[in-house]
C-alpha cells in the first residue's frame, strides 16, 4: 500500500529530528466584507534576496505533545492507521532551559511526527509550535525569516547534533526551524501532508506574502468562496489559499474565528487513498471521529482524534 522509505541511521539521528525538530456551494459568506483576493495566483515568491533554506517535505515533522502515559497508545494507533515505523523511545532535554521529555520520531508514508511526552513542566513557549522544518543553515534561515517579517520567539540554541530556533509569523503562526550537523537522508513521502493554518482576514494577505518571501513558494490556488463545510460550517463560504514550497504544502483558512470544535486545533491534514477505510483503521486502533466525512468539490474530509488527544484531518483530495 505504501512506498518504502529509509529509517534514520541511528537512534541519535532518529530522536534528534523530534527533539529539534495543520466550488462555492452556498450563498452565505463567513464574512461579508472579505473583499477580492490580493495574493497573485501561481506567482513565485515576492523576492529572492534571501536564499531558499528548505530541504524537503520529508523532513517536516508535526510536533505532537501528549501525556507521557499516552505515548504508547498514541504511537501505536497512528501507525496502525497510516503505516510506518517509530524510533526507539528515549528521554532527553529538548529545550534550551531545563526540562525532560520522553520522545519518539514517527515516520509514515503520509508525514512525519516528533512526539513528546514531557515528564516535567513544558517551558514556554514550547508546545505552541506546530511544525519543525529542517533548513540548510540555521543562521541563514533565521536571517531570512526576519527579513520576511517573522519574529524570533526563541533565539537559536544548541542541541546534541545541531541547532534550533522558534519563529512566529503575522497571524500567530508559530513554527520551529532546525539544522543538523550531519544531514539526515530520508526517502520522499508517498503523499505530502497539509500544514493547516487558520488566520483572520486582517492578517491573511500579510501572512501569505511574508511566508512566500521566506519559503520561495507559490500560491497554487486562492478561492475566495470555498465551501466552509470543510471546517464545519456547511452552507457558508470562506477563503482558502493553497501554497506549495520546498517546505511542503500549506492550506490557509481565512475565517472570522468562529470555528466549531475541533477545527483550529489541528495542525496537519493527511492525504489518503480512501477516507472511509482510513477511518475504519483508525477506529479499530482507538481513534475517534470528531467530524464525519464531508464531501465537497475538492474531495472528502474528516477529523480524527487519536489517543493522547492528537487531532488530525484526513482527506482524499479527489
Q: The CATH number of the domain where 41 resides is what?
A: 3.10.180.10
pLDDT of residue 16: 41
9 compared with 63, residue with greater pLDDT? 63
pLDDT band at 220 (very low <50, low <70, confident <90, very high): very high
Domain end position, chosen among 180, 203, 237? 180
Is residue 282 within 8 Å of residue 81, measured between CB atoms? yes
Same domain, yes or no: 258 and 305: yes
Mean pLDDT of 289-312: 97
**By residue range, what is the domain housing residue 168?**
57-180
Question: Could you report the per-residue pLDDT of 56-92, keeping only the tens digit for each?
Answer: 999 999 999 999 999 999 999 999 999 999 999 999 8
Pairing of strands 61-65, 111-118: parallel
Question: Could you report the per-residue pLDDT of 264-282, keeping only the tens digit for each?
Answer: 999 999 999 999 999 999 9
Residue 6 in domain: no
pLDDT of residue 45: 39
Residue 170 in domain: yes
Instruction: Give first-to-last CA distance, the chain, whole Å.
Output: 18
Is residue 104 within 8 Å of residue 15, measured between CB atoms? yes
Residue 213 in domain: yes
pLDDT of residue 13: 41
By percentage, how much of the chain surpasses pLDDT 70? 85
- Residue 7's CB is within 10 A of a number of other CB atoms, namely 14
Domain end position, chosen among 150, 180, 210? 180
Same domain, yes or no: 198 and 277: yes
Residue 14 CA from chain centroid, whole number: 19
Domain total in the chain? 2
Same domain, yes or no: 43 and 74: no
Mean pLDDT of 37-45: 42
Same domain, yes or no: 113 and 62: yes
Closest CA to 108 of 230, 4, 206, 195: 4
Question: Could you report the per-residue pLDDT of 116-150, keeping only the tens digit for each?
Answer: 999 999 999 999 999 999 999 999 999 999 999 99
Mean pLDDT of 46-57: 81
Backbone angles phi, psi at 246, to 5 degrees: -65, -15
Residue 17 in domain: no
pTM for the complete prediction?
Answer: 0.85
Same domain, yes or no: 201 and 307: yes
Same domain, yes or no: 276 and 251: yes
Is residue 207 within 8 Å of residue 145, measured between CB atoms? no
Specify the 3-state DSSP secondary structure of 97: coil
To the nearest whole number, what is the mean pLDDT of the chain?
A: 87
Which segments of 170-222 does DSSP mark as H helices, in order?
204-215
d(CA 120, CA 94) in angstroms, rounded, equals: 12
d(CA 64, CA 85) in angstroms, rounded, equals: 16
pLDDT higher than 80, residue 160: no
Question: Could you report the per-residue pLDDT of 161-218, keeping only the tens digit for each?
Answer: 789 999 999 999 999 999 998 888 899 999 999 999 999 999 999 999 999 999 999 9
Is residue 61 within 8 Å of residue 129, measured between CB atoms? no
Residue 36 in domain: yes
Q: List the grid coordinates of 202.
A: 486582517
Specify the 3-state DSSP secondary structure of 290: strand
Same domain, yes or no: 203 and 279: yes
Is residue 200 within 8 Å of residue 252, measured between CB atoms? no
pLDDT of residue 48: 52
Same domain, yes or no: 118 and 156: yes
Alpha-carbon distances of 28 from 119, 177, 223, 240, 291, rounded to whole Å: 47, 39, 15, 15, 21
Residue 13 in domain: no
By percentage, how much of the chain surpasses pLDDT 90? 80
pLDDT higher than 60, residue 22: no
Residue 186 in domain: no
Q: Bridge-partner residues for 302, per DSSP?
A: 314
Q: List the grid coordinates of 266.
A: 489541528
Amino acid at each position: 500500500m505504501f512506498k518504502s522509505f529509509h529509517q534514520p541511521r541511528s537512534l541519535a539521528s532518529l530522536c534528534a529530528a523530534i527533539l529539534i525538530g495543520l466550488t462555492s456551494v452556498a450563498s452565505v459568506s463567513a464574512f461579508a466584507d472579505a473583499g477580492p483576493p490580493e495574493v497573485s495566483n501561481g506567482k513565485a515568491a515576492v523576492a529572492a534576496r534571501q536564499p531558499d533554506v528548505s530541504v524537503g517535505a520529508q523532513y517536516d515533522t508535526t510536533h505532537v505533545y501528549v501525556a507521557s502515559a499516552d505515548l504508547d497508545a498514541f504511537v501505536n494507533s497512528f501507525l496502525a492507521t497510516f503505516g510506518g515505523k517509530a524510533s526507539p523511545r528515549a528521554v532527553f532535554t529538548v529545550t534550551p532551559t531545563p526540562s525532560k521529555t520522553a520522545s519518539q520520531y514517527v515516520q509514515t508514508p503520509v508525514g512525519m511526527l516528533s512526539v513528546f511526552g514531557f515528564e516535567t513542566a513544558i517551558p514556554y513557549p514550547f508546545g505552541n509550535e506546530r511544525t519543525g522544518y529542517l533548513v540548510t543553515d540555521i543562521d541563514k534561515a533565521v536571517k531570512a525569516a526576519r527579513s520576511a517579517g517573522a519574529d524570533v520567539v526563541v533565539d537559536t540554541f544548541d542541541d546534541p547534533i545541531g541547532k534550533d530556533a522558534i519563529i512566529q509569523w503575522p497571524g500567530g503562526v508559530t513554527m520551529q526551524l532546525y539544522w543538523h550537523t550531519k544531514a539526515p537522508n530520508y526517502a520522499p513521502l508517498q503523499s505530502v501532508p497539509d500544514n493547516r493554518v487558520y488566520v483572520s482576514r486582517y492578517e491573511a494577505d500579510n501572512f501569505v506574502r511574508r511566508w512566500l518571501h521566506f519559503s520561495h513558494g507559490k500560491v497554487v490556488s486562492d478561492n475566495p468562496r470555498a465551501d466552509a463545510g470543510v471546517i464545519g460550517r456547511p452552507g457558508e463560504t470562506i477563503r482558502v489559499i493553497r501554497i506549495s514550497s520546498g517546505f511542503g504544502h500549506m492550506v490557509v483558512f481565512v475565517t472570522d474565528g468562529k470555528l466549531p470544535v475541533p477545527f483550529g486545533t489541528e495542525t496537519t491534514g493527511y492525504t489518503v487513498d480512501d477516507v472511509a477505510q482510513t477511518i475504519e483503521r483508525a477506529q479499530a486502533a482507538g481513534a475517534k471521529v470528531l467530524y464525519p466525512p464531508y464531501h465537497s468539490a475538492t474531495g472528502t474530509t474528516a477529523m480524527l482524534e487519536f489517543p493522547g488527544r492528537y487531532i488530525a484531518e484526513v482527506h482524499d483530495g479527489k
